[in-house]
Amino acid sequence: MIRFDIITLFPQMFVSPFGESIIKRAQHNGLLQIEVHSLRDYTEDKHHITDDAPFGGGPGMVMKIEPIVKGIEHLKKPGETRVILMTPQGALFTQETAERLSTCSHLILICGRYEGVDERIQFFVDEEISIGDYILTGGELAAMVMVDAVARLIPGVVGERDSVLEDTFAGSLLKYPQYTRPRNFRGLDVPEVLLSGDHEKIMKWRRTEALKKTLGKRPDLLARAPLSDEDKHSVEELKK
Ligand code: ADE
């Protein structure tokens, strides 16, 4: 069971993404708890102000630090919680990050808005995470992406555990090609080996196809993937 507490200016954004399908079921089954908190609830002024003009001048507004820190301190469980700021300035989120975070029991995610958060926030968070080298309007979508990727690693969340384990086994390779009925669609046949019933042959074929796909589409991933001697041999053959 992992508990996520999300602090955001826009709690409504989370309703549908977390209220459907696998994430909804995981919460219902007690494998996952997601609580979304409005940053405004942690303000103390009459107008619930969460941002202010930057010292030194310049365009845009900066998110104030007091309500964010009040939220963190309200939700934090000593010795248990990891506090994460979603920001394009953070470390890049990868499958390894998801695996590491899936071992935590309590995560607080702070969604910043695009113009930035008071720099002193760094002293109140454990890490800063970006989901990619592009700028979103805020950290909300990034938080959703992260919750989704972490949640599916919790045992029981994804129906067929095998599919998660298979992804892990495949390491950083792209997935092998998959087919379902019909066997022939407009002259396009399903590869014969998949109909052979020979599981060993199918496994070998899938591994080679995963290597082929990764080599063609994401050679950068292949360079970092843990490969067996047999894989390396296959890659050399594929390159020819
Ligand atoms: N906020 C704005 N852009 C972001 C990104 N790429 N990752 C995480 N948080 C963000």
Which atom of ligand 1 approaches the CA of 135 most closely? 3
Residues in the chain, how many? 240
Distance of alpha carbon 95 from alpha carbon 148, whole angstroms: 11
Q: Can you tell me the mean pLDDT for 190-199? A: 98
Q: Which residue minimizes the CA distance to atom 6 of ligand 1?
A: 88
Residue 193, pLDDT above cutoff 90: yes
The predicted pLDDT at position 162 comes to 67
Topology annotation, domain 2-151? Alpha/beta knot (3.40.1280)
Q: Which residue minimizes the CA distance to atom 5 of ligand 1?
A: 88
Å from CA of 143 to ligand 1 middle: 9
User: What pLDDT band is residue 161 in, cutting at 50, 70 and 90?
Assistant: low
Torsion sign, CA atoms 25, 26, 27, 28: positive
Q: Which CATH entry fits the domain spanning 166-239: 1.10.1270.20, 3.30.365.10, 3.40.50.720, 3.20.20.210?
A: 1.10.1270.20
Ligand 1, residues at Cβ distance < 6 Å = 86-88, 112, 114, 130-132, 134-136, 138-139, 142
User: Domain segments of the chain: what residues?
Assistant: 2-151, 166-239
Burial 108-142 (b: 16+ CB within 10 A, else e): bbbbbbeebbbeebeebbeebbbbeeeebebbbeb
Å from CA of 179 to ligand 1 middle: 35
